[in-house]
């Protein structure tokens, strides 16, 4: 089995689970939960494919839709007996890692530059979460808290560098994904984040 379809399916399921859970906790109806789960899970990959001139994967692969609907079903069945906290954070982190590698790997398969591969890896990983937070009217994690973008960027750079050096694909993918996970865990544990712009205005 090829690596790319597996990565896309896994990241879709994980991001859909996270999106559906956040939407459910915001009190959205069933239609809203399905919509947020879909946006959170496929928008990054869709944007990646559009930039590469490819058909979005959810159009050609019905298992992507199955993954989204399965995530919604799981959420509706278990949301009242599970706690959101750390479990959701862990899932989101692993989804971020998987999507980063998926984006960069597909870019390389389309024979783009190493820089484009890095950028597309980050776009694939962070787009869905950003749109999810905006639509659910919560503070976008990407823009205000933690280092999601930085974690994805570090993982993409690692994967692309190893791939360019002709290191084994599996080793490159695991190494890149591992860097994403480690970077985010460290940033959360030590409360690290990028510096914020200071306008110089005194708070009222």
Burial class (CB in 10 A: 0-12, 13-18, 19+), 31: exposed
pLDDT value of residue 201: 62
How much is the mean pLDDT over the chain? 88
Q: If you ran DSSP here, which 8-state letter would residue 195 be given?
A: P
Tens-digit pLDDT profile for residues 142-197: 555 557 889 999 999 999 999 999 999 999 999 999 999 999 888 888 877 777 66
pTM: 0.89
Q: What percent of the chain has pLDDT over 90?
A: 67
What is the mean pLDDT of the segment spanning 74-100? 79
46 vs 54: CA distance, rounded Å: 9
Within 10 angstroms of residue 169's Cβ, the number of other Cβ atoms is: 15
pLDDT over threshold 50, residue 81: no
pLDDT over threshold 60, residue 203: no
pLDDT value of residue 1: 54
CB 110 within 8 A of CB 52: yes
Tens-digit pLDDT profile for residues 16-40: 999 998 898 888 999 999 999 999 9
pLDDT value of residue 28: 93
């Amino acid at each position: 089995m090829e690596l790319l379809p597996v990565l896309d399916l896994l990241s879709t399921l994980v991001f859909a689970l996270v999106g559906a859970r956040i939407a459910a906790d915001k009190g959205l109806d069933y239609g809203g939960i399905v919509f947020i789960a879909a946006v959170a899970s496929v928008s990054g990959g869709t944007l990646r494919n559009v930039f590469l001139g490819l058909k979005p994967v959810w159009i050609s692969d019905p298992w992507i839709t199955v993954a989204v609907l399965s995530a919604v079903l799981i959420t509706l069945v278990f949301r009242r007996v599970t706690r959101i906290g750390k479990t959701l954070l862990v899932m989101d982190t692993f989804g971020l890692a998987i999507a980063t590698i998926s984006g960069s790997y597909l870019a390389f398969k389309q024979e783009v530059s190493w820089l484009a591969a890095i950028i597309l890896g980050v776009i694939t990983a962070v787009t869905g979460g950003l749109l999810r937070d905006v639509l659910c009217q919560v503070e976008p994690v990407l823009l205000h808290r933690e280092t999601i973008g930085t974690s994805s960027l570090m993982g993409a750079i690692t994967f692309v560098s190893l791939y360019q050096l002709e290191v084994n694909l599996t080793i490159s993918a695991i190494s890149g994904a591992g860097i994403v996970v480690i970077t985010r865990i460290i940033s959360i544990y030590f409360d690290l984040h990028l510096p914020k712009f200071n306008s110089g205005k005194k708070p009222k």
